[in-house]
Structure 1
Amino acid sequence: MIRIFLVDDHPIVRDGIRSLLVQEPGLEVVGTAGNGQELLDQLPDTPADLVLMDINMPVLDGYATTARLREEHPDVRVLALSMLAEEHYVGRMLEAGARGYVLKSASKDEIIHGIRQVMEGRMFLCTEIGLAMLRKVLDWNTVSVNAEPKKTELLSKREREVLQLIAEGLTNAEIAEQLFTSKRTVETHRQNLLEKTHAKNTAALVKLALADGLIK
């Protein structure tokens, strides 16, 4: 029996995933938590084999929680379960110690397959993530090794959408409402934009994007 702990700050997501997993033989959901700290507080009394871990959460996010688990509970394996598809997020979670990454849009069968693969000691990426990375590798091989890409060429489609709305003067809350996502996710995108472009602030970020013709 694989003992699974669900960690996500949205109760409706936790309930939905739980309802999928409880129907599967050999899987048992032993606990749920709304953030990483709640998980760490419960683990001593609720042993688990695998944690299905969201990334963007209050108090203690998925990156920090996964790193803590690697140090404090090395036998507990982590499978990231997120709506964030960009390789930046995948890389950070794997670097923190996750053994796999599955999108919330994945099918029930793929999520369960990911759980079993991780528990068998293998690394796992869902099909959508794996194909996206393969396409990027193939595209990269067609580009001259001497070509220096613009900083803004490193941005994902969603990051470009957020950047356009930032340039239009929208707040994080307004961007979140327009893109049907959470304010915390927008804040993460904004920070990633600054890191990828090495811009010191939002004004410099917008100036760079205008110079590259990325935004209107």
Structure 2
Amino acid sequence: MTRILLADDHTILRDGIRALLSTAPDLEVVGEASNGAEVLTMLETIPADVVLMDVQMPVLDGFATMPELRQRFPEVNVLVLTMLDHENYVARMLEAGALGYVLKNAAITEIMYAIRTVATGSPFLCTEIGLAMLYKAVANTGGSTSSEEIGSHTGADLTARELEVLKLIAEGLTNGEIADKLFTSKRTIETHRQNIIAKTQAKNTAALIKLAVGRGLIS
């Protein structure tokens, strides 16, 4: 039995993950935390094999939590579950000691597989991030890649999901409307929007749309 400690500041998300994981006979959620400080406190009394942890959390986020967690509880493996898909976030968390990284929009079967993999001490990287990094690596070596998937021809290095969000922004949809259309949360869309603006260095949404049209990302 793999014992899991959930760490996310959204109660509804923790409830959903707990419910989904309860269908697996070999996985057990032994505790829930809303931030990194609670994770460290709970691990003192609650044995866990895997901490399934978000990056963006109040009080103590994932980046600040990792060093102390690795020092105090080296036997506990960490699997990051987040919507932050930029390679900088991935690299920082893995360098800090996380053993795996999976996006919240991954299928529950992939999340369960990631938990089981990390529990054995093996690293895991979700399919979407792995493919994005592969496409970028191929592009950097002069190979042929799908520009629709990662936008490498623009220099913006946008993921498939970010391109999808960008197109809906250009259509005039609000964050809430985009969230409903993509069956995700408004906060997730806000994160995607921030990532898109950061990657393209657009000063505002109008500049972002103009830049996207000019670079052929959208028509």
Of all paired residues, the percent bearing the same amino acid is 52
SS at match of 2:202: coil
Superposition RMSD in Å: 3.3
Whole-Å separation in 2 of the counterparts to 1:129 and 1:80:
13
1:70 is displaced (CA, Å) by 1.8
Which of 206, 209, 212 is residue 209 of structure 2 equivalent to?
206
Q: Which residue of 2 aligns with 1:81?
A: 81
Contact map agreement 1:51 1:79 (CA 8 A) in 2: yes
Deviation readout 1:86-108 (Å, 9 max, x if unpaired)? 64553343244311124542447
Contact map agreement 2:7 2:51 (CA 8 A) in 1: yes
Whole-Å separation in 1 of the counterparts to 2:128 and 2:214:
32
SS at match of 2:212: helix
Q: Compared with structure 1, are the counterparts of its residues 170 and 79 closer, same or farther at alpha carbon in structure 2 (3 Å cutoff)?
A: same
Whole-Å separation in 2 of the counterparts to 1:169 and 1:127:
30
How high is the TM-score relative to the length of structure 2?
A: 0.72
Q: Which residue of 2 aligns with 1:71?
A: 68
Q: Which residue of 2 aligns with 1:140?
A: 140
How many residues align? The count is 202
1:37 is displaced (CA, Å) by 4.9
Whole-Å separation in 2 of the counterparts to 1:150 and 1:135:
14
Structure 1 alignment gaps of length 5 or more: none
Counterpart residue type for residue 33 of structure 2: A
Which of 15, 20, 27 is residue 16 of structure 1 equivalent to?
20
Contact map agreement 2:77 2:98 (CA 8 A) in 1: yes
Q: Which residue of 2 aligns with 1:174?
A: 177
The answer to whether 1:59 aligns with 2:58 is yes
Q: Compared with structure 1, are the counterparts of its residues 78 and 167 closer, same or farther at alpha carbon in structure 2 (3 Å cutoff)?
A: same
Whole-Å separation in 2 of the counterparts to 1:177 and 1:127:
24
Contact map agreement 2:6 2:31 (CA 8 A) in 1: yes
Counterpart residue type for residue 158 of structure 2: L
Which of 156, 159, 175 is residue 156 of structure 1 equivalent to?
159
How high is the TM-score relative to the length of structure 1?
A: 0.73
Deviation readout 1:116-151 (Å, 9 max, x if unpaired)? 333xxx43324564455334423432349xxx9533
Counterpart residue type for residue 67 of structure 1: A
Contact map agreement 2:175 2:189 (CA 8 A) in 1: yes
Q: Compared with structure 1, are the counterparts of its residues 129 and 195 closer, same or farther at alpha carbon in structure 2 (3 Å cutoff)?
A: closer
Structure 2 alignment gaps of length 5 or more: 145-151
Whole-Å separation in 2 of the counterparts to 1:133 and 1:49:
28
Whole-Å separation in 2 of the counterparts to 1:92 and 1:189:
18
The answer to whether 1:188 aligns with 2:191 is yes
